[in-house]
């Protein structure tokens, strides 16, 4: 297993839709282990393959929601959600962050319920369904695999603040990344 560098907003690999996985082999299993190890070292809730520069449609999640631990992976995910909110997200309850936007949090509107279907590393069917933080994570990670950062979902003043932050941090060019060291510190 290995901790991999995490790409930062501005890298075109983060805005490129993932390719379906067709090879279910030991290399895929090893890669999924690397995603888990990288996510753990970064203190993340989830990590998509394209966040470490891999084009395959796979993500891992590892989080606690309402006292319940959820951990797993999904290959070739398909997302279904309840209706998305049309109002401004709550600045306290709807904060969202991303390992590819290190150190930043913005209120982001998400559906209250989400279900993802796909397969596991062996090709066996998998379904994960949830509300709350788990639903947010499932939507966030499938967005990554569609080539969308959560910043694209921001509206109003949050959208403007994110654009300024990207410019001020010079995250407008490819190749920026960070390597989690397990401390939980993220680059600023």
Q: Is 70 part of any known ligand binding site?
A: no
Report the number of secondary-structure helices (H) and strands (E) in the chain. Answer: 3, 9
Q: Is 140 part of any known ligand binding site?
A: yes
From CA 174, how far away is CA 47, in angstroms rounded?
19
Beta-carbon-side half-sphere exposure of residue 30 (alpha carbons within 13 Å): 6
**Is 60:36 a contact under the CB 8 Å cutoff?**
yes
Residue 141 is a catalytic residue: yes
Q: Is 66 part of any known ligand binding site?
A: no
Beta strands in the chain (DSSP E): 6-7, 46-48, 58-65, 68-81, 95-98, 101-107, 113-119, 125-131, 177-178
CA 52 to chain centroid, in Å, comes to 11
Catalytic residue among 37, 96, 104, 141: 141
Catalytic residues: 141
Q: What residues are designated binding site?
A: 98, 140, 144
Task: List, as residue ranges, the binding site for Fe cation.
Answer: 98, 140, 144
């Amino acid at each position: 297993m290995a901790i991999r560098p995490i790409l930062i907003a501005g890298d075109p690999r983060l805005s490129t839709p993932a390719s379906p996985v067709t090879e279910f082999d030991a290399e895929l299993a090893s890669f999924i282990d690397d995603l888990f190890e990288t996510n753990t070292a970064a203190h993340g809730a989830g990590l998509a393959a394209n966040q470490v520069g891999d084009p395959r449609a796979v993500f891992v999640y590892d989080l606690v929601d309402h006292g319940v631990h959820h951990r797993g992976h999904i290959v070739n995910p398909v997302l279904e959600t309840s209706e998305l909110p049309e109002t401004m997200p709550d600045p306290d309850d709807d904060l969202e962050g991303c390992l590819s936007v290190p150190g930043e949090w913005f209120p982001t509107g998400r559906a209250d319920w989400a279900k993802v279907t796909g397969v596991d590393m062996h090709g066996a069917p998998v379904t994960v369904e949830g509300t709350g933080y788990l639903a947010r994570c499932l939507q966030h990670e499938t967005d990554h695999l569609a080539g969308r950062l959560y910043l694209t979902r921001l509206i109003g003043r949050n959208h403007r603040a994110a654009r300024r932050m990207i410019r001020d941090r010079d995250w407008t060019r490819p190749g920026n990344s960070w390597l989690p060291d397990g401390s939980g510190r993220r680059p600023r």
